[in-house]
Amino acid sequence: MVYFVATPIGNLKDITLRALETLRACDVVFCEDTRHTLKLLNAYEIKKPLVACHKFNERAAADKIIAEAGAGREVAVVSDAGMPVISDPGSIVCSALRSAGVPYTVIPGANAFLSALVLSAMPSERFAFLGFLPDKQGERRKLLERYSSLDLTMCFHAAPQDVDRYISDMYAVFGDRPACAVREITKLHEEALPFTLSCGLAGEKRGEYVLVVGGAQPAPSALNALSEREHIAAYMAQGMDKKEAVKAAARDRGVTKSEMYKFSLDL
């Protein structure tokens, strides 16, 4: 059997009992970075052969995994952090296993973007995970344009050096929206920083980020058909605080903020 095993995204104590049981029982571990995985296994006194399976050799690694499974060996597949396949190597392996008729299963565990969604306090009834954006600005903006009309919360992974340009392109494509930058999840310096796309995210960028961005807002004409109170509540449901929602509703209706404020008192 082949097991795709989720590993901690920061705090090593977030590994599950079932994941440890699987790693101890397997014959070989295929991993994104052998040095990184060795630290995890050493922390739990697990000694296993490690074989690289990263984005540059994944197809060849998939053939090795199929051969190992065909020989009756138990195989674990891990990435450096979180769930393999999700913004990490593994999808080519899954496809190859399915084509070869080799059974596999998942040992679930830590996940960065779901943790970030909770920490962001953004609307979570419906959401989309869009992972890392393309390196080239033209491709990046083209992809963002495809999702600009989504009326649900969106989650993006971002390396620290990419955060500012991601936000700049989001603002150029989406216009102003509420957002939250979540970094260092489960680690000592974990934080969730609310901001708006127009203002950007201040300060030095350190650690891995998840950017959580509000969805598209209904056209003002549709909101204007609501009562004043419902109009403000609709913006708040999209992640705006009450002050921002009152301001936006007043702008839609062509009235002053003070005129709209009285309709928000019980919200």
Strand-strand pairing, 104-107 and 2-5: parallel
Summary mean pLDDT of the chain: 95
Residues 201-215 have pLDDT tens digits of 999 999 999 999 999
| Listed residues 67, 84, 107: the one ending a domain | 107
Q: What pLDDT shows up at residue 221?
A: 67
Question: Does 6 lie in the same domain as 93?
Answer: yes
Residues 36-67 have pLDDT tens digits of 999 999 999 999 999 999 999 999 999 999 99
- The size of the chain, in residues, is 267
Number of domains in the chain: 3
Question: Does 98 lie in the same domain as 119?
Answer: no
Instruction: Spell out the residues 6+ positions from residue 150 whose beta carbon is closer than 8 angstroms to its own.
Output: 128, 215, 216
Instruction: Spell out the residues 6+ positions from residue 174 whose beta carbon is closer than 8 angstroms to its own.
Output: 144, 148, 197, 213, 216
Sheet containing 153-158: give its strands across: 127-131, 153-158, 209-213, 178-183, 191-196
C-alpha span between 115 and 11 (Å, rounded):
13
Dihedral angle of Cα 198, 203, 209, 213, to the nearest 10 degrees: -20
Q: What is the CATH number of the domain that holds 179?
A: 3.30.950.10
- Residue 191 domain boundaries: 112-213
pLDDT at 99 over 70: yes
pLDDT classification of 257: cutoffs 50, 70, 90: confident
pLDDT at 21 over 90: yes
- Read off the pTM: 0.82
Question: Does 102 lie in the same domain as 7?
Answer: yes
Residues 123-177 have pLDDT tens digits of 999 999 999 999 999 999 999 999 999 999 999 999 999 999 999 999 999 999 9
Q: What is the CATH number of the domain that holds 52?
A: 3.40.1010.10
pLDDT at 252 over 90: no
C-alpha span between 78 and 113 (Å, rounded):
18
Q: What pLDDT shows up at residue 111?
A: 95
Q: Which of 20, 15, 22 is nearest to 83 (CA)?
A: 15
Q: What pLDDT shows up at residue 215?
A: 95
Question: Does 86 lie in the same domain as 18?
Answer: yes
Q: What percent of the chain has pLDDT over 70?
A: 99
**CB-CB neighbours of 168 under 10 Å:** 13
Question: Does 66 lie in the same domain as 7?
Answer: yes
b/e per residue, 223-238, with b = 16+ CB within 10 A? beeeebbebbbbbbeb
